[in-house]
Structure 1
């Protein structure tokens, strides 16, 4: 797929990126090369290949779902600059 200078300008405009005119042609060439490489990936035979989320098989360690560090509200609120009624107090931001 070939990307021309007008397409680069349009993409830059949509992305709100200021693109100097001397960078438009080189960028068109770079984008064309990237899209050519992506098209090459479409030619790879992937029949019989299962999708992967990771390269190696990982198993999550299961643990019992229980509260192990509760009843520390006072310690947590001790770090707050200001606390009221057992919660962090912050300045009002909506008028």
Structure 2
């Protein structure tokens, strides 16, 4: 299996996992997570998500969407969570 189909499979598995965890009731959140993972935005520099590949970003944004309910939708907690997770995911990787 080449790298591209493996990556597409991984992205689909991440989306399937999110759907199973949420009971399928949050498709708009998943759509937004995919959208955020696809294109780099101004927030990516501060959040350090610009150093991650698409699948890692998708996983991170899906995790954030899922955990936002536990954080009472607090934007500061969410931003700290994303940045800390991105730092952890990029630890040991060369800078882009």
Higher helix share: 2
Q: Which has the higher contact order (CA 8 A, sep 6+)?
A: 2
Same fold (TM over 0.5): no
Return the index of the structure with the highest Cα Rg. 1
TM-score normalised according to structure 1 size: 0.29
Higher strand share: 1
